[in-house]
Structure 1
Amino acid sequence: MTSEARAKNIKVLIFDVDGTLTDGQIFVLPGPDGKGIESKGFAAHDGLGITLGRLGGLRIGIITKRNSQTVAIRARDLKLEFVYQGQAHKMNAIRDILAKTGFTLDQLSYVGDDIVDLPVMRECGLAIATANARQQVKDVAHYITPNPGGQGAGRDAIDFILSAQGSLAKVIEQYLDEENKAAEVADVGVGNM
């Protein structure tokens, strides 16, 4: 089955975070209490892409092995439906998502970049690797994004799925429609304000 055919069936899209929605760098700044303050950079293209995906009917979330307040803030700003942090075995979170939604593995797409993502990528309907992914991850992927993580790979994945489903152009027009209140507030984040 082609990657486009697989994409037509996708209802749920799940992202890894570090190296996928970020470039993989983790900055730890010393705090006044002696503890580290973690920061990461996220691509605005991915944020808008998540809004387009949601407008296109995709249910979107993240699963990450790390626990990070930065990720929690970004997930809240993007209004992600599924947020799982501290997941050493990501298939546990996937099973929970499928139980909550009633969808099946072939209706789920996962975007990853490193070997921690392999168990999900080997099972899901559409496995997507970022351009910067480890070779083992690219080897199991049905699609590899043109851009690396943290530089638009998330948007690449969403554009690919919505294009295969024939809805990308329509969803873009919905987003641009001044009368569409859902699109107007969809990706307005506040950061840590």
Structure 2
Amino acid sequence: MTAEARAKNIKVLIFDVDGVLTDGQIFVIPNSEGHGIEAKGFSAHDGLGISLGRLGGLRIGIITKRQSQTVAIRAKDLKLEFIYQGQSHKMNAINEILEKTGYTLDQLAYVGDDIIDLPVMRRCGLAIATANARQQVKSAAHYVTANAGGFGAGRDAIDFILSAQGTLEKVIEQYLDESSTAAAASDVGTGNM
């Protein structure tokens, strides 16, 4: 089955975070108390893509091994439906998401970049690797994004799915329509975190 055929069936889209929604770098800035403050960079293209995906009917979330206040803040700003941090075995979170939604593995797409993502990618309906992913992850993927994590890979994944479903152009026009209440409701936060 082609990646496009798989994408037509997708209802839930889950992202890893580090190396997928970020470039994988983690900046630790010391504070006056000797503790570190974590900083990461996220792509605005991915944020707008998440709005388009939600408007197109996708249910979107993240699963990450790390615990990060930075990620929690960004996830809230993106209005993500599923937020799982501290997940060493990501299939546990996937099973919980599927139970909550009533969807099946073949209706779930997952975007990853490293070997911790392989258990999900080997079982989900559409496995997507970022351009910067490890070779083992690219080998397990049905689709590899044109852009690297932190530089629009998330948007690539959303555009690919919505294009395969035949809704991308309609969703873009709906998003641009100032009178669309659905577009306003699907949009991400204003960054006033």
* TM-score > 0.5, shorter chain as reference: yes
Query: Structure 1, residues 24-70: CA drift from partner, whole Å, max 9, x if none?
Result: 00000001111100010000000000000000000000000000011
Distance 1:94 1:190 in 2: 28
Distance 1:128 1:2 in 2: 13
Aligned to 1:132: 132
Kept in 1: contact 2:130–2:147 (CA 8 A): yes
Distance in 1 (alpha carbons) for counterparts of 2:36 and 2:180: 41
SS in structure 2 of the partner of residue 10 of structure 1: coil
Distance 1:191 1:109 in 2: 30
Number of the residue aligned with 2:189: 188
User: Percent of aligned positions with the same letter in both sequences?
Assistant: 79
Count of residue pairs the alignment pairs up: 192
| Aligned-pair CA distance for 1:98 | 0.2
Query: Which stretches in structure 1 are left out of the alignment for 5+ residues?
Result: none
**Residues 16-95 of structure 1 mapped to structure 2, 5 A cutoff:** 16-95=16-95
Any idea what the Cα deviations from partners look like across 1:129-165, whole Å, max 9, x if unmatched? 0000000000000000000000000000000000000
CA contact (8 A) 1:78 1:189 kept: no
Are the structure 2 counterparts of residues 17 and 191 from structure 1 closer, same or farther at C-alpha, using a change threshold of 3 Å? farther
Equivalent position SS for 1:123: coil
Question: How far apart, in 2, do the equivalents of 1:127 and 1:191 lie?
Answer: 33
**Structure 2, unaligned runs of 5 or more:** none
- Paired AA for residue 189 in structure 1: T
The CA distance in 2 between the partners of 1:154 and 1:6, in whole Å, is 17
The letter of the residue matching 2:85 is Q
Separation in 1, partners of 2:132, 2:105: 25
Letter in 1 for 2:66: R
Letter in 2 for 1:89: H
Looking at structure 2, the residues matched to 188 and 65 of structure 1 have their Cα atoms a distance apart, in angstroms, of 24
| Code of the aligned partner of 1:174 | Q
Structure 2 counterpart of 1:153, which letter?
Answer: A
Secondary structure at the residue paired with 2:122? helix
Q: How many angstroms does 1:191 deviate by?
A: 4.5
Superposition RMSD on alpha carbons, in Å?
Answer: 0.8
Cα distance per residue 1:72-115 (max 9 Å; x no partner): 00000010000000000000000000000000000000000000
TM-score normalised per structure 2: 0.98
Q: Distance in 1 between matches of 2:65 and 2:189?
A: 26
Is 2:108–2:124's contact at 8 Å kept on the other side of the alignment? yes
Superposition TM-score, scaled by structure 1 size: 0.98
- Kept in 2, the 8 Å contact 1:138–1:144? The answer is yes
| Post-superposition offset of 1:180 | 1.2
Check the 8 A contact 2:17/2:63 in 1, yes or no.
Answer: yes
